[in-house]
Amino acid sequence: MPKPGYKVLTLKEGTMNQLQSKAAERGITVSQYLERFLGLSPGITEDCPRSMNASKTRFLGEASLSSDKEGSMVGRTGLEPVTTAVSAAIRAVPHQIIMPPSPLQVPPAIRTVLDEFAKFCFVDLRLSKPSVDRHRSFLKKVLVQFGPEPTTAQIRSLLATVENPYTYNNYIKSLRIYFRDYLDRFGVVKTFKFAIEEPAPPRLFKKGELRAFFEGIDTPKERAIFLMYATSGRRRGEILSLLKEQIDLEQRVIVPNKQSRTKHTWYSFFNDEAKETLEEYLGCARIRGTKLFPMGGGDAHTLFYMARHKTGITITPQDLRFWFANEMSRLGVADRFIDAFQGRVPRSVLARHYTDYSPENLKAVYDKAQINVLR
């Protein structure tokens, strides 16, 4: 059964397989395919919430026939028989989807407060857009529930329901910026301390596990993303925010875009395996905008979902970043170069030692290592 507030969308027999195939051909999710190519705009029916957020999409048990209301959604798709072979694992996906509840309805007054807060974070605090978006998101949940000036008791009642220490700390960070820096009323939240985060030690996956997981990835887009993580060592957000103009396919180079206050991205590289998957992805995808891997809604949080489902292995971008550093070290690459590839060298150090960290020298070091994932 879905969680409270979630609804079940039941698809006609066989429709889910066809949707999976059509979406896979384009390297996108089913939710994106429904919205972009079949004209199912947000809010089309009561059972199709405004935000078709793939991060909350989950598949349920036995398939069943759709009711009239639900059939009215899928009956207008006009899907033709697919010729692309559909894997047994995809055929096994049931025909029910849990759709997330509609997003929070933000009153105009609260939206104005959030807009001004975001501007303050951008201009005064010089925070990056992902940081501002994250703070705005957590603050929105508080202000929509309690108004623009929540009390300490109200905030405490909300935090008491948060079990995950990472989520709890994200609330605290956003609330501190709002009350301490923006409103100059730190007293409202000064008693709230950060939870102790005890991350599990990262697991070093064997190359055979990486290959098995890669074989379970269904779309060219996710295959390219997987190998870009594994062979470049870049952070999760850095790969997903890459612009098409930053990629030199011929030289297999990722050109740095801009610096944040805490990250020091520099020139990094990817191997021939990643290049081949990128070429496959770029050859079949319809990419709109400037991003290399455009993501809609919460799609970034569902990366490799089908691969996890089929292989029983859970591999995250952070795992691949950790694997890259260890594999490069095993191949004899000096730590200072691994730090440069992974964006851990301050710009001041790069400038003082440009001969060591020049793009030409770094590429020579990278190519000499001959890192690979699939061989």
Across residues 159-164, what is the average pLDDT?
93
In a domain, 300, yes or no: yes
Backbone angles phi, psi at 40, to 5 degrees: -85, 85
Closest CA to 44 of 67, 11, 72: 72
Given pLDDT bands bounded at 50, 70 and 90, which one contains residue 198? Answer: confident
Given pLDDT bands bounded at 50, 70 and 90, which one contains residue 168? Answer: very high
In a domain, 34, yes or no: yes
CA 304 to chain CA centroid, Å, is 10
- Asked if 266 and 278 touch (Cβ cutoff 8 Å), the reply is no
* pLDDT recorded at residue 139: 96
Neighbours of 351 (CB within 10 A): 9
| Residues 75 and 141 occupy one common structural domain | no
Find the CATH number of the domain harbouring 159: 1.10.150
User: Of the spans 29-33, 253-257, 275-279, which averages the highest pLDDT?
Assistant: 275-279
| Residues 257 and 349 occupy one common structural domain | yes
- Give CA–CA dist 224/222, Å, rounded: 5
Domain tally for the chain? 3
Decide: helix, strand or coil at residue 9: strand
| Residues 39 and 118 occupy one common structural domain | no
| Residues 220 and 183 occupy one common structural domain | no
* pLDDT recorded at residue 114: 96
| Residues 125 and 260 occupy one common structural domain | no
Helices 108-123 and 129-146, axial angle in degrees (round to 10): 150
Give burial (CB, 10 Å; 0-12/13-18/19+) of 38. Answer: middle
| Residues 116 and 60 occupy one common structural domain | no
Closest CA to 284 of 350, 233, 339, 218: 218
pLDDT at 261 over 70: no
Among 41, 69, 99, which residue terminates a domain?
99
The 10s digit of each residue's pLDDT in 58-84 is 332 222 223 333 333 332 233 322 223
- Give CA–CA dist 242/264, Å, rounded: 15
In a domain, 69, yes or no: yes
In a domain, 138, yes or no: yes
In a domain, 194, yes or no: no
Counting residues of the chain whose pLDDT is more than 90, the rounded percentage is: 52
| Residues 58 and 119 occupy one common structural domain | no
Q: Report the chain's C-alpha Rg in angstroms.
A: 23
Query: What is the residue range of 135's domain?
Result: 108-188
| Residue found by looking up tokens 């939870």 in the block | 195
* pLDDT recorded at residue 299: 67
Cα–Cα distances in Å, from 148 out to 36, 108, 113, 138? 36, 11, 7, 13
Neighbours of 80 (CB within 10 A): 8
In a domain, 193, yes or no: no
| Residues 171 and 286 occupy one common structural domain | no
Given pLDDT bands bounded at 50, 70 and 90, which one contains residue 297? Answer: low
Cα–Cα distances in Å, from 193 out to 32, 125, 137, 171? 40, 22, 20, 11
Across residues 303-327, what is the average pLDDT?
91
- Give CA–CA dist 121/178, Å, rounded: 9
The 10s digit of each residue's pLDDT in 280-290 is 999 887 788 88
Lowest mean pLDDT among 62-76, 119-133, 275-289, 327-341: 62-76
| Residues 146 and 267 occupy one common structural domain | no
94 versus 314: the higher-pLDDT residue is 314
- Asked if 26 and 285 touch (Cβ cutoff 8 Å), the reply is yes
Q: Does an H or E element contain 312, and which?
A: none
pLDDT at 43 over 50: no
In a domain, 1, yes or no: no
Handedness of CA 235, 236, 237, 243 (dihedral sign): positive
- Asked if 263 and 235 touch (Cβ cutoff 8 Å), the reply is yes
Backbone angles phi, psi at 43, to 5 degrees: 75, 20
Lowest mean pLDDT among 6-20, 91-105, 175-189, 269-283: 91-105
* pLDDT recorded at residue 296: 67
- Asked if 356 and 328 touch (Cβ cutoff 8 Å), the reply is no
| Residues 340 and 227 occupy one common structural domain | yes
Lowest mean pLDDT among 46-50, 166-170, 216-220: 46-50
- Give CA–CA dist 154/142, Å, rounded: 9
pLDDT at 86 over 90: no
Q: What is the pTM of this model?
A: 0.64
Across residues 106-114, what is the average pLDDT?
93
The counts of H helices and E strands in the chain are 18, 6
Across residues 154-166, what is the average pLDDT?
94
In a domain, 117, yes or no: yes
- Asked if 370 and 327 touch (Cβ cutoff 8 Å), the reply is no
Find the CATH number of the domain harbouring 312: 1.10.443.10
| Residues 174 and 95 occupy one common structural domain | no
* pLDDT recorded at residue 160: 95
| Residues 348 and 216 occupy one common structural domain | yes
Given pLDDT bands bounded at 50, 70 and 90, which one contains residue 348? Answer: confident
